[in-house]
A and B are shown apart, each in its own frame.
Chain A
């Protein structure tokens, strides 16, 4: 069966520090991968998605970037965090690549920027 891992689970970082969040998927090949952010009491905002190694699409311009160095690994990064980067970061995977695709989420990383 497929599983998705994210780490760390919780992170507290100072403003201006770098960020690296990692997501890995097991039990499937060539998944579509997604990074979302959920601010407190708000809906999910799609940040990036990837349909293959090295292929990244950005949905919202901001100081974050994403990379997919391996088929089942998706990394979210920032060179300098802002206060507004605080939130719940969720990685998700899906397979169909069509409008019928169901997305499955990892446990998330809760980021607090101080």
Chain B
């Protein structure tokens, strides 16, 4: 089983749609969680951290369910510019610490 698993995608949605990304992690010692966005042929960029209580940034909402080892990202009112690959990222304490990136889910938003 992969340490971080995401929906394989791609997701194809019309402008204005709400889209949800799901991510599960296998190690219960995971401590911090992030969503990154990666545009085609570009580097990943931090979209938002995911807090235990859930957090929102404009049209983006991230949630964490530690009991189910599940993270989600919701994009409301999707824009053409939201088209990208969304990466789920988990860090865990291994004596030092280790950051694990999911393979990503590609999103295409169409007019």
Q: Which residues of A approach B to under 8 Å, CB–CB?
A: 36, 42-44, 46, 88, 90, 97-108, 110
Contacts and interface: CB of A to CB of B under 8 A. Distances in A.
Instruction: Decide if the interface of chain A is mainly helix, strand, loop or mixed.
Output: loop
Main SS of chain B's interface residues? strand
Interface residues of B, number: 20
B71 to A, nearest CB: 15
A36 to B, nearest CB: 8
B93 to A, nearest CB: 6
Interface stretch (B14-22, B40-48, B54-62, B73-81): B40-48
Given A43-B87, A107-B42, A108-B43, A102 B101 contact: no
Contacts of A98: 97
10 contacts: A44-B44, A90-B44, A99-B92, A100-B32, A101-B32, A101-B99, A102-B34, A105-B45, A108-B43, A110-B41
Nearest to B33: A99
Contacts of B46: 102-104
